[in-house]
Amino acid sequence: MKQAEQSPVCDLLEARFVDIFGRVKAMAIPLASPSSDLEKIAGDSAVSAGVSVDGSSIEGYAAIENSDMHLTPDTGTIFRLPYHATRAAAYCDLYQRGSEGAHTPFEGDPRGRLKAVLSEYLQPDQRIEIKPELEFFFTRGEEPADEGAYIDVYPSDGLAHHMDEVFRVLAEMGIAAERVHHECAPGQVEVEIDYEPILRQADHLVSAKTAIRALAHQAGLRATFMPKPFAGLAGNGMHVHFRLLRDGENLFGAGAGQLSTTARHFIGGLLRHAPALTAICNPSVNSYKRLVPGHEAPVHICWGYRNRSTLVRVPLFTDAGKVSVELRSPDATANFYLALAGMVAAGMDGVRSQTEAPEERPENVYTLSANQLRRLRVKPLPGTLGQALDALEQDDVVLGALGPVLAPKFVQLHREIWDQYLHGVVTDWERTTYLDA
């Protein structure tokens, strides 16, 4: 926990968690002893006591007849909110309250599911670190907030001052933004967060997304992480780079700049489970309007070195300690905890079962014909949320990562969304095309 100099006194702690859709929720805990010292906040009696919530009012959580829940802040996650000066925040473990004060861990807690998957798939001396690349648009009204393009500078980049503020605020929150830069489309920004252990990084992603939205609101803008907010422009993804370490050694690297067998098996697992992963990494109807050729979004289940047309990419490396495996399909409409739990389960299942990665694809797979793809045995990603949910229900590994409580709820709620889109929505395009048919 980092302490800023001459920080304002905090009198409230946001006890944070997320619902099944990944939307951040919080109960504000008044501190017994307001303080500017994060260590003192961590030891505050009100923080130790936690706070109760009504689980039946949270999407995908407890039933109304068994809805008393308790939030216990993880004091190792406490940080200050620079955009809300008198507040700190922490991520919580969720419990169901029982009789006589007994608390049992809530099996439907997404953060708890990620911790459970890490415990199941990793040995005690192993850890996974990730580097996510978070893309979003700043908009004014319903239009991009500037006319900039990839890594433009001010004044072509009209968002430079806003990006500076994002960088500063994330740093104050303990989030190491390696780069903050203008992306390809007008109004589009990317934040690359340097490697951290995966649970801490999941918390950071929730914090970053929440902070970016708050800063945009304060500036009279909107920050949207919608995967495809504008037809014809690049979409918003969230590429995730993985490293698997044992006692500090990167298990993905081998001698002479080669991928290790472990890395190839991890890739094999990601590809084998890719259809099911798509349901939790791309859980919105709009996600599938991004996963089309033309804007460096993956469409086919394949991998390659340095190849941005593939689903899984191995970036250029010369040092075995810096080898990473990048999954390029996810977007930030995902519940970060559940999506990362699924990715870990998929990759590590490949390691466990020694799943061989197919031959790498060196060519631009967008340009391959359907016949060429069939000959190479390269299959497409699901093209709709409905297809992805079908794949999820048939994949015991990825479904298992969601756990017995969350899995059926996740499928049910997202089936309802897909059905509503198919049968309950009439779009402007349909009216334009068919009104006079």
Query: 116-421 domain in CATH 3.30.590.10?
Result: yes
Question: Average of pLDDT values for 151-177?
Answer: 93
Question: Average of pLDDT values for 320-339?
Answer: 96
* Total residue count of the chain as it appears in this document: 437
pLDDT at res. 66: 56
Higher pLDDT, 59 or 380: 380
Question: Average of pLDDT values for 237-245?
Answer: 98
**pLDDT (tens digit, 9 = 90+) per residue, 263-300?**
999 999 999 999 999 999 999 999 999 999 878 899 99
Cα(221)–Cα(432) distance, integer angstroms: 30
pLDDT at res. 417: 96
Burial (CB < 10 A; 0-12, 13-18, 19+), residue 67, is middle
Nearest by Cα to 114 from 352, 411, 340 = 340
Residue carrying the six token digits 């130790």: 48
pLDDT at res. 85: 87
Q: Which two tokens stand for residue 394?
A: 């048939």
Nearest by Cα to 254 from 188, 179, 336, 318 = 318
Question: Average of pLDDT values for 317-322?
Answer: 87
Report the DSSP pairing between strands 87-97 and 10-18. parallel
Selected from 3.40.50.10310, 3.40.1010.10, 3.10.20.70, 3.40.50.300, the CATH number assigned to the domain covering 10-106 reads: 3.10.20.70
pLDDT at res. 65: 43
Higher pLDDT, 314 or 319: 314
Mean pLDDT of the chain: 93
Under 8 Å between Cβ of 388 and 285: no
Sequence ranges of the domains in the chain: 10-106, 116-421
Judged against a pLDDT cut of 90, whether residue 121 lies above it is answered with yes
Judged against a pLDDT cut of 90, whether residue 327 lies above it is answered with yes
Q: How far apart, in Å, are the Cα atoms of 182 and each of 37, 74, 171, 322?
A: 35, 34, 18, 25
Q: Kindly write down the DSSP assignment for every residue of 312-378, as one continuous string.
A: EEE---SSGGG--EEE----TTS-HHHHHHHHHHHHHHHHHHTPPP-----S-GGG--HHHHHHTTP
Q: Which two tokens stand for residue 82?
A: 């620079």
Q: Kindly write down the DSSP assignment for every residue of 363-378, as one continuous string.
A: S-GGG--HHHHHHTTP
Judged against a pLDDT cut of 90, whether residue 102 lies above it is answered with no
Q: Give SS3 for 240.
A: strand
Share above pLDDT 70 across residues of the chain, in percent, rounded to a whole number? 96
Question: Average of pLDDT values for 171-188?
Answer: 95
Question: Average of pLDDT values for 197-205?
Answer: 98
Judged against a pLDDT cut of 70, whether residue 145 lies above it is answered with yes
Judged against a pLDDT cut of 60, whether residue 246 lies above it is answered with yes
pLDDT at res. 96: 87
Residue carrying the six token digits 């079908």: 390
